[in-house]
Amino acid sequence: MKNFEYTIKDELGIHARPAGVLAKEAKKYASTITITKDGKSAQATKLMAVMALGVKNGNTVTVTVEGDDEEQAFEGIKAFFENNL
Amino acid sequence: MECLKGKSAYAGVALGKIAVLSKQDYVIKRKKIDSPEHELERIEKAKEKSLEQLQALYDRAVVEVGEANATIFEVHQMMLEDDDFNEEIENIIRTEMVNAEYAVAKAGDDFSQMFASMDDEYMKARATDVKDISERLVRNLYGKEDNDLNYSEPVIVVADDLSPSETVQMDKNKILAFVTVHGSTNSHTAILARMMNIPALVSTPLNLDELKSGMEAVVDGFTGEVYINPTEEVKNQALEKIQKEKEKQELLLTLKGKENVTKSGKEIKIYANIGSVSDVGYVLTNDAGGIGLFRSEFLYIGRNDLPSEEEQFTAYKQTAQMMAGKKVIIRTLDIGADKQADYLELGEEENPALGYRAIRICLSQPEIFKVQLRAILRASVYGNISVMYPMIISVEEVLKIKEIMAEVKAELTEQGMPFKDIEEGIMIETPAAAMISDELAELVDFFSVGTNDLTQYTLAIDRQNQKLDPFYNAHHKAVLKFIKMAADNAHKAGKWIGICGELGADLTLTKTFVEMGIDELSVSPSMVLKVRKAVRDLD
């Protein structure tokens, strides 16, 4: 299991569109990718659940990656956060 | 005639017949079924059809409102394929052995309820999106087409709420205005209305059952009012406003992109005053050269606590980005006197105009001031931001501000937060500041004259007191002499000076200001082109 912390820079937070693109990205991997904010978690593949976390600009989330391809998934998802959020 | 007040999502006036858009109310019946597999298959087909429709809507929206605004239909496609949403539908069908339509409607309600209950305006507005997709799915399950939204003559569309897909499907040449009972100024409908340049009201307490398509109405997007069955008088007023708007548009076309230069070649900058980020659109459509006064108070008023650094940063950054390199002058907190925020507990005063307000609060409570300065500095890297301080009366105040500014910059540097060295100016709105403007000019990068307060303090006349009107003279020589004095002192020190009060937009003074060598006039967005015309008409 690998994880990283990330502070959201997008001014709208994790809003609808990036949550949707994130879901698509997360589905590329076999690993389970979980986003946690203030004790609440959602799987990255689930758009509405991720939106429901209500992650705002400036919030810090923990992203956990667990599964067979976790090395790849970790790199891919981390890059996605850095480039899009 | 009936007059109702909603919230304006986009300004403009319309007069015409209404078209009441009622949701296709199929009573969704809950039916027992034998084969869940069959229902799931039907859902798959309806989903496929929905995705196709959404793709078509997306393609259409890209053309009509641009790619950025069209992405909502991409999001709808993604929501439609959301795992949790689909699992819930399947779950309802399997456990309750009910029909697909009922299951979709139920899941749609649940998810939209979840968004509606979030404490975030943006996420709240997403409830409409969820409803939109589940209704689409239900329509396709019933084999019904989308609502027919193509009207034969231009109409004022009245609805409970409009989904983004409904808004974009309408032929915009046939829409005079939008009025909805629900919806926020944050909704996609509001955003799309702005893009389409159509007056729009949201949160309007209409009773749709009492309205019939074909009734006459007037929509005033400036005041947020809608008149049903308007009297001749109201209709005539509306026509006048529409005519005025039309003239403005024509003036705009002839003056847009032109320089603010007199016939003999003297140039003056014309900027606009704004009170919130949502005004930036008007600044751009009226072709202002920049924002000469961004009243930051709106961030502080009408709430129960201080706005956070992030909140302010976002507002300043958005403004700077939207202005794309044009100057944005942010005035720090100018609260007190007639503008109050209860949570600051400023207390009652005998003479509020002469009291604890503006920079006096900021210098007494630097912890509040610093948050704002941090937000402004952080936003500075996203555009061309300047800052100015209100209600200055002394050199000592400016020195104290500089000290605080230096502390804030040092903190940001230490935290590795990027910022630019921005221009710092002061408002000249007290006789004291005008009198010592020679000394003040040495310390700052620019002056901006706040004529409303300068007049009130110079003439010792309370503008709120109507009894004093006979004594009031907006063009009093004393005020004009103060402005001239400040202008001369600014120029002697190699600094520039602007005017951001009401007098800046007084077309009978444009000539005087140009002659004084005023470098910039900041006026309300709707006055920009009129002042430009006045300048261009000067010899």
* ipTM at complex level: 0.85
Q: Does domain B2-22+147-232 have CATH number 3.30.390.30?
A: no
- The pLDDT tens digits for A3-13 are 999 999 887 88
- Measured in angstroms, the CA of B77 and the nearest CA of chain A are apart by 9
- Given the residues B188, B362, B475, B491, select the one marked as catalytic: B188
Pick the CATH number of B36-142 from 2.40.37.10, 3.30.420.40, 1.10.3720.10, 1.10.274.10: 1.10.274.10
CA–CA gap between residue B272 and residue B39 (Å, rounded)? 59
Asked whether the beta carbons of residue A20 and residue B318 sit closer than 8 angstroms, the reply is no
Number of neighbouring beta carbons within 10 Å of residue A83: 7
Asked whether the beta carbons of residue B75 and residue A20 sit closer than 8 angstroms, the reply is yes
Answer yes or no: B362 catalytic: no
Torsion sign (Cα): B194, B195, B197, B200 = negative
Number of neighbouring beta carbons within 10 Å of residue B247: 10
Contact status of A13 with chain B (Cβ, < 8 Å)? yes
- Measured in angstroms, the CA of A59 and the nearest CA of chain B are apart by 10
> What are A34's two structure tokens?
């979980």
- Residue B421, pLDDT > 90, answer yes
Using left for φ > 0, alpha for ψ between -120 and 50, and beta otherwise, residue B178 falls in: beta
What pLDDT is recorded for position B526?
79
Quick check: B228 and B220 in contact, CB under 8 A?
no
Asked whether the beta carbons of residue A54 and residue B72 sit closer than 8 angstroms, the reply is no
Rounded to two decimals, what is the model's pTM? 0.58
The DSSP symbol for A81 reads H
- Residue B147, pLDDT > 70, answer no
pLDDT band at residue B21 under the 50/70/90 scheme: confident
Segments of chain A with pLDDT less than 70: none
> What are B497's two structure tokens?
């000076």
CA–CA gap between residue B188 and residue B74 (Å, rounded)? 13
DSSP letters spanning B36-91: HHHHHHHHHHHHHHHHHHHHHHHHHHHHHH-HHHHHHHHHHHHHHT-HHHHHHHHH
Which residue, among B134, B195, B189, has the nearest Cα to B159 in the 3D structure? B189
Instruction: Quote the percentage of chain B above a pLDDT of 70.
Output: 95
What pLDDT is recorded for position B87?
92
pLDDT band at residue B282 under the 50/70/90 scheme: confident
Quick check: B309 and B368 in contact, CB under 8 A?
no
Range B481-490 average pLDDT:
98
- For B154, the 3-state DSSP assignment is coil
- Given the residues B182, B475, B491, B500, select the one marked as catalytic: B500
Q: Which of the residue ranges A17-31, B334-348, B452-466 would you say has the lowest mean pLDDT?
A: B334-348
Residue type, position B88, single letter: E
Nearby residues of B341 by Cβ (< 8 Å), 6 or more positions away: B300, B301, B303, B335
Asked whether the beta carbons of residue A23 and residue B317 sit closer than 8 angstroms, the reply is no
> What are B105's two structure tokens?
């409607």
Nearby residues of B515 by Cβ (< 8 Å), 6 or more positions away: none
Quick check: B7 and B203 in contact, CB under 8 A?
yes
Which residue, among B127, B125, B85, has the nearest Cα to B106 in the 3D structure? B85
> From the list A11, A24, A47, which residue is nearest B79 (CB)?
A47
Q: Which residue is associated with the tokens 């309820």?
A: B113
Torsion sign (Cα): A26, A29, A30, A32 = negative
- Residue B465, pLDDT > 80, answer no
Question: In the predicted model, what is the mean pLDDT of chain B?
Answer: 89
CA–CA gap between residue B530 and residue B539 (Å, rounded)? 16
- Residue B355, pLDDT > 70, answer yes
Q: Least CA distance to A59: which residue of chain B?
A: B310
The DSSP symbol for B26 reads -
> What are A45's two structure tokens?
């593949």
For chain B, domain boundaries: 2-22+147-232, 36-142, 269-536
pLDDT band at residue B185 under the 50/70/90 scheme: low
Backbone phi, then psi, for B229, in 5-degree steps? 50, 60
Instruction: Quote the percentage of chain B above a pLDDT of 90.
Output: 58
- Residue B349, pLDDT > 80, answer yes
Residue B216 bridge partners (DSSP): B17
- Pairing of the two strands A2-7 and A60-66: antiparallel
Pick the CATH number of B269-536 from 3.90.550.10, 3.40.50.720, 3.30.465.10, 3.20.20.60: 3.20.20.60
Query: Counting beta carbons within 10 angstroms of the beta carbon of residue B296, is it exposed (0 to 12), middle (13 to 18) or buried (19 or more)?
Result: buried
Quick check: B238 and B220 in contact, CB under 8 A?
yes
Answer yes or no: B188 catalytic: yes
For helices B83-96 and B100-116, the axis angle rounded to 10 degrees is 130
> From the list B84, B129, B310, which residue is nearest A46 (CB)?
B84
Strand order, beta sheet including B2-5? B2-5, B225-228, B216-220, B13-21, B155-159, B175-180, B200-202, B7-10
Query: Counting beta carbons within 10 angstroms of the beta carbon of residue B143, is it exposed (0 to 12), middle (13 to 18) or buried (19 or more)?
Result: exposed
- The pLDDT tens digits for B292-330 are 999 998 788 777 889 999 999 999 998 998 898 999 999
> From the list B74, B122, B317, which residue is nearest A20 (CB)?
B74
Which residue, among A33, A45, A37, A47, has the nearest Cα to A3 in the 3D structure? A33
Asked whether the beta carbons of residue A16 and residue B75 sit closer than 8 angstroms, the reply is yes
